[in-house]
Amino acid sequence: MKDGCKKYIPFEPIKLENRKWPSNRITKPPVWCSVDLRDGNQALVDPMNLDEKTELFELLCKIGVKEIEVGFPSASETEYEFLRTLIKKELIPDDVTIQVLVQAREHLIRKTFEAIDGAKNVILHFYNSTSALQRKVVFKTDMQGVVDIAVNGAKLVKELGDELQARTGVNIRYEYSPESFMGTEPDNAIWICSEVMKVIGATPENKLILNLPSTVENTTPNCFADLIEYFCENLENRESAIISLHPHNDRGTAVATAELGMLAGAERIEGTLFGNGERTGNVDIITLAMNMYTQAIDPGLNFEHINEVKDVYERTTKMHVGVRHPYAGDLVFTAFSGSHQDAINKGEEYMANSHADMWEVPYLPIDPADVGREYEPVIRINSQSGKGGAAFIMHNSFGFILPKAMHPEFGKAVKKYCDSVGREISADEVMELFRREYIDRKGPFTLISHKFYEESELNDTSPKVRFEGMIRHNEDEPVPVTGKGNGPIDAFFNAMAKVGISGYKFVNYSEHAVSIGSDAKAVSYIQLRDPKGKTFFGVGMSHNINYASIRGVLCAINRSLTSEH
Ligand code: KIV
Ligand code: ZN
């Protein structure tokens, strides 16, 4: 392995002085062209059938893609049939241009023109390979040889295009790709593209799309950007061309390549949903578009329902979107770590309380709702989760607003449980734990019955509350207890003294209503300090707020009596 790398030839960067692209900014979206149905399809284990292609085509239209490469009709019968079906069944919206790919070879070009007959808007995309390597090992020709192939192809394309235009009124435009552009000497790429531009008769009103593919990604995005800037600066008649990119992802940097390429002057991007395409795929137009979106640039594509896009994509291509795929993966809006959960929680609180217009939530680069995702799965619980995570679930999923001081206590119980089961736990399991720990907390003391009375003594302006009830200790017979106080909690405390409970100090109290289905109940949170100085929370729930409070007190007492001090 050590010396194995010596057999590779490093990419030779061009010498570009005073490059401008590093100080440029992306301020508007490119023209998007989907190559899902061609590059994406040709890379599938099982290429799509007619129905699957049609469904994906309709999805692309719905997303807002206006240029869609629908296939390579001269290369396969299915591709040919698909195109004919789209045209005959009038499935192509008027504002969508279909694009067809063809090698710069006579019989293939002729067949392609048969396939597009009857379409309203067409981009005829022709290509030949131009790199030094392809010239050497595949075509065994020099640069003049590949220029001739391109020029002859362009002549035929133009001739047949003019004929078709005159006969059917088709709105036809042309695209030329020097395939393997990345391995083509920059001046040779400019030479061949200029020759094609001349033949096509490109003008500022009728531009030729020059698609510069990184057919095999072979260098860092900055070197690619240098090439694009150089190409744009040195192409004569630049204003008569639309510079398009078609980044593949061999080095895993197709998105960066596209972004830096746009900084360097590219105006159009060919890519696919979720980056499907040959080998490691094409550039992912969802990531590119959403990256722009996070920079306050409307990308002109609609991913409001990203799960739907994912479903159609996975069904039609039989590919799988990874859980960490930007913007769309199952886990990308999920925080497991406690500090992340706390920060997200605080960010959302800040957004709600300040009625902020701008999105400022740590760890969430976008509002999940913008792509039709929910907040609910944002916080998930495992043993790495902190105190805030469980409280967030209790609030967001079940409506329980745990007092801040209670978060560490409940968080500890959740962490202990996660450690014991050794996995992530669901929101329902968090609720179940809460019930077990607080609401349904068993013994040693159980309240069997209770009643409150208000008592006013003569000349007493502040009436007293009297508690009467039956209390059982473990399995003993229930005993009657009574107590008087300034309020229900006080009265209950005094009654508990009758069964030997004393020395507890009241620390904190909060309450709110919580809806359980169509029912509403009061929930109260009581914090007590036990005689040994340790604090415990108790939670009580009832239709009656007084009863909810004393259940909370009893819960806190029971928890203190059964805890390991
Ligand atoms: O990757 C590539 O170079 C291509 C061309 C045909 C544009 O797909
Ligand atoms: Zn490609």
Q: What count of other Cβ atoms lies within 10 Å of the Cβ of residue 491?
A: 25
Q: CA 332 to CA 522: how far, in whole Å?
A: 36
The owner of tokens 């192409």 is: 235
Q: CA 228 to CA 375: how far, in whole Å?
A: 41
What are the pLDDT digits (tens) for 271-322?
999 999 999 999 999 999 999 999 999 999 999 999 999 999 999 999 999 9
Decide: 177 in ligand 1 pocket, CB within 6 A: yes
What pLDDT sits at residue 519? 83
Q: Give the residue, 386 or 45, on which the prediction is more confident.
A: 45
Exposed / middle / buried, residue 329 (Cβ in 10 Å: 0-12, 13-18, 19+)? middle
pLDDT surpasses 50 at 353? yes
User: Mean pLDDT highest for which of 14-18, 372-376, 391-395?
Assistant: 14-18
Decide: 179 in ligand 1 pocket, CB within 6 A: yes
Q: Per-residue confidence at 376, pLDDT binned at 50, 70, 90?
A: very low
Q: What does residue 173 show for φ and ψ, rounded to 5 degrees?
A: -125, 170
> Helix crossing, 427-434 with 387-398: angle to 10°?
100
Question: Which of 178, 174, 236 has the alpha carbon at shortest distance from 207?
Answer: 174
Report whether 158 contacts 174 (CB < 8 A). yes
Query: Which residues are CB-contacts of 53 (< 8 A; sequence separation ≥ 6)?
Result: 37, 41, 70, 82, 316
Q: CA 44 to CA 318: how far, in whole Å?
A: 8
Half-sphere exposure at residue 301, Cβ-oriented, CA atoms within 13 angstroms: 31
Decide: 248 in ligand 1 pocket, CB within 6 A: yes
On average, the pLDDT of the chain sits at: 94
Decide: 270 in ligand 1 pocket, CB within 6 A: no
Q: CA 171 to CA 124: how far, in whole Å?
A: 11
3-state secondary structure of 122: strand
Write out the H or E segment, with its range, that includes residue 431.
helix 427-434
Write out the H or E segment, with its range, that includes residue 495.
helix 488-496
Domains and their CATH numbers in the chain: 25-317 (3.20.20.70), 338-439 (no CATH), 445-562 (3.30.160.270)
DSSP characters over 211-268: EEEESS--S-HHHHHHHHHHHHHH-TTGGGEEEEEEEB-TTS-HHHHHHHHHHTT--E
Write out the H or E segment, with its range, that includes residue 108.
helix 106-116
Reading across the β-sheet that carries 479-485, which strands appear in turn?
Answer: 445-455, 464-473, 479-485
> Helix crossing, 254-263 with 285-293: angle to 10°?
50
User: Mean pLDDT highest for which of 146-150, 326-330, 506-510?
Assistant: 146-150
What pLDDT sits at residue 558? 96
Q: Per-residue confidence at 424, pLDDT binned at 50, 70, 90?
A: confident
pLDDT surpasses 90 at 443? no
Q: Give the mean pLDDT of 23-28.
A: 98
Ligand in nearest proximity to the CA of 244: 1
pLDDT surpasses 70 at 331? yes
Q: Which of 69, 101, 105, 182 to mutate to test the pocket of ligand 1 (most atoms within 8 A of CB)?
A: 101
The owner of tokens 């001090």 is: 565
What are the pLDDT digits (tens) for 37-55?
999 999 999 999 999 999 9
Q: CA 470 to CA 182: how far, in whole Å?
A: 86
CA of 91 to the centre of ligand 2 (A): 25
Q: Per-residue confidence at 337, pLDDT binned at 50, 70, 90?
A: confident
Q: CA 288 to CA 271: how far, in whole Å?
A: 9
What pLDDT sits at residue 377? 47
Q: Which token pair is 411?
A: 């968080």
What pLDDT sits at residue 133? 96
Amino acid sitting at position 533: G
Q: Which token pair is 135?
A: 């010239």
Ligand in nearest proximity to the CA of 177: 1
What pLDDT sits at residue 226? 98
pLDDT surpasses 80 at 260? yes
Q: DSSP E strands: which ranges in 83-142?
A: 97-103, 121-129
pLDDT surpasses 50 at 522? yes
Q: CA 351 to CA 375: how far, in whole Å?
A: 13
Report whether 190 contacts 237 (CB < 8 A). no
Query: Which residues are CB-contacts of 103 (< 8 A; sequence separation ≥ 6)?
Result: 74, 126, 127, 128, 153
| Predicted model pTM | 0.77
Amino acid sitting at position 238: R
Q: What count of other Cβ atoms lies within 10 Å of the Cβ of residue 483?
A: 18
Q: Which token pair is 515?
A: 């809806």
What pLDDT sits at residue 334? 87
Q: Give the residue, 386 or 218, on which the prediction is more confident.
A: 218
Q: Which token pair is 89?
A: 């069944």
Q: Which atom of ligand 1 is nearest to the CA of 282?
A: 1
Q: Give the mean pLDDT of 512-534.
A: 90
Decide: 246 in ligand 1 pocket, CB within 6 A: yes
Q: Give the mean pLDDT of 510-517.
A: 87
Distance of CA 372 to the CA centre of its chain: 9
Question: Which of 370, 389, 466, 465 has the alpha carbon at shortest distance from 433?
Answer: 389
CA of 179 to the centre of ligand 2 (A): 8
Calculate what percentage of the chain has a pLDDT beyond 70. 97
C-alpha R_g of the chain: 35
Q: Which of 214, 215, 279 to mutate to test the pocket of ligand 1 (most atoms within 8 A of CB)?
A: 215
Q: What does residue 532 show for φ and ψ, rounded to 5 degrees?
A: -90, 5
Q: What count of other Cβ atoms lies within 10 Å of the Cβ of residue 533?
A: 9
Q: Which atom of ligand 1 is nearest to the CA of 101?
A: 6
Q: CA 400 to CA 168: how far, in whole Å?
A: 68
Reading across the β-sheet that carries 505-516, which strands appear in turn?
Answer: 505-516, 519-529, 535-542
Q: CA 259 to CA 269: how far, in whole Å?
A: 10
What pLDDT sits at residue 296? 97
Q: Which atom of ligand 1 is nearest to the CA of 39?
A: 8
What pLDDT sits at residue 557? 96
Q: Per-residue confidence at 350, pLDDT binned at 50, 70, 90?
A: very high
Q: Give the mean pLDDT of 320-335.
A: 93
Q: CA 40 to CA 317: how far, in whole Å?
A: 9
Question: Which of 215, 172, 211 has the alpha carbon at shortest distance from 31?
Answer: 211
pLDDT surpasses 60 at 378? no
Decide: 213 in ligand 1 pocket, CB within 6 A: yes
Q: Give the mean pLDDT of 455-475.
A: 81
Distance of CA 434 to the CA centre of its chain: 31
The owner of tokens 């996975």 is: 314
